[in-house]
């Protein structure tokens, strides 16, 4: 007879042997999925015996995790900004560091949070950034752009899931796609990994995240060059752009934006002090 506790222990050992650092948490999340339990019920019932079909389902999920498929992809969802986002193979799994961008954007809006505003999310993917912002800004409306139609389909599903679909539109295109409107805010988490570094990424990322979402070209800055050139036309006078950048890229990205006449307002660091979000503003006098 297999109990919850013994099943978790066996899975944890398998994951540790495969070099998975979050072995204990991953085992619990996958068993919750297989058994149809929430975390508190799983913990409280540690001595309960599992049915054969639950064990079989759990083993199948563990087989996928041992191959370094991310838990979020196995479960099909990932929490971001307290919201659950549905994923598919065309969407990047939202990262905790991207919440720094959302937090910085909300801080920048500040006392103006209750006024109507327009937000553009370049490379929206699952829609996580713009949907998180709309969930906090009741008067805001947004546009999400992505080169992948399957990603846009998922973003629309997530917008409906979180009750903001009536305030957001999605456009199939790339960073250079011309739009017939300007925005109070442009946000982006573009691909920024230098191509030569891709082979060294963790297996979870290298084999399961879409390459379009992290391949930043030879120096990691290809997408930023395109975005920088587009921002003067996308932003209203006085509008703000916030972009997530890779480690060591903040100065280079700031220089690209300044070269387009934007004023660099701040660089928001992550928890270990790495510049993670570049914040730039279009002058009120700039046309």
Q: Does pLDDT of 12 surpass 80?
A: yes
Tell me how far CA of residue 130 lies from CA of 59, 66, 257, in angstroms.
36, 33, 21
74 in a domain, yes or no? Answer: no
Output the pLDDT for position 275: 97
* Same structural domain, 244 and 109: yes
Domain that holds residue 123: 79-281
Residue pLDDT, tens place only, 144-165: 999 999 999 999 999 999 999 9
Residue pLDDT, tens place only, 61-102: 999 999 999 999 999 999 999 999 999 999 999 999 999 999
Q: Are strands 117-122 and 183-188 parallel, antiparallel or unpaired?
A: parallel
Contact 117, 137 (CB under 8 A): yes
Find how far residue 139's CA is from the centre of its chain: 23
Residue pLDDT, tens place only, 262-276: 999 999 999 999 999
Asked which of 17, 43, 67 is the last residue of a domain, the reply is 67
286 in a domain, yes or no? Answer: no
> CATH number, domain at 248?
3.40.50.150
- Average pLDDT on 281-287 reads 82
pTM of the predicted model over 0.85 = yes
* Same structural domain, 129 and 264: yes
Tell me, what DSSP letter sits at residue 221? -
- The mean pLDDT value of the chain amounts to 95
Q: Does pLDDT of 31 surpass 80?
A: yes
Output the pLDDT for position 287: 64
Residue pLDDT, tens place only, 213-262: 889 999 999 999 999 999 999 999 999 999 999 999 999 999 999 999 99
Q: Does pLDDT of 285 surpass 80?
A: no
Find how far residue 267's CA is from the centre of its chain: 19
């Amino acid at each position: 007879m297999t109990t919850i506790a013994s099943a978790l222990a066996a899975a944890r050992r398998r994951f540790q042997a495969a070099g998975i650092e979050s072995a204990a948490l991953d085992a619990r999340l996958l068993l919750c999925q297989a058994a149809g339990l929430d975390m508190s019920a799983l913990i409280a019932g540690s001595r309960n015996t599992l049915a054969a079909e639950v064990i079989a389902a759990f083993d199948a999920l563990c087989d996928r995790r041992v191959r370094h498929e991310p838990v979020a992809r196995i479960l099909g969802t990932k929490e971001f900004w307290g919201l659950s986002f549905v994923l598919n193979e065309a969407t990047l799994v939202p990262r905790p560091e991207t919440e720094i961008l959302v937090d910085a954007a909300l801080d920048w809006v500040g006392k103006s949070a209750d006024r109507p505003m327009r937000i553009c999310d370049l490379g929206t993917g699952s829609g996580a950034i713009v949907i998180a912002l709309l969930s906090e800004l009741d008067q805001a409306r947004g546009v999400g752009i992505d080169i992948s139609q399957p990603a846009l389909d998922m973003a629309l599903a997530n917008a409906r899931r979180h009750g903001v679909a009536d305030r957001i539109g999605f456009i199939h295109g790339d960073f250079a796609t011309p739009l017939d409107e300007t925005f109070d805010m442009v946000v982006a988490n573009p691909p920024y990994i230098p191509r030569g570094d891709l082979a060294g990424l963790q297996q979870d990322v290298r084999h399961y995240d879409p390459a379009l979402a992290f391949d930043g070209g030879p120096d990691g800055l290809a997408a930023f060059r395109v975005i920088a050139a587009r921002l003067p036309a996308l932003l209203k006078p006085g509008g703000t752009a916030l972009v997530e950048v890779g480690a060591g890229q903040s100065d280079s990205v700031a220089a690209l934006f300044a070269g387009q006449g934007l004023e660099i307002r701040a660089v928001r660091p992550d928890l270990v002090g790495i510049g993670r979000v570049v914040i730039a503003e279009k002058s009120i006098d700039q046309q």
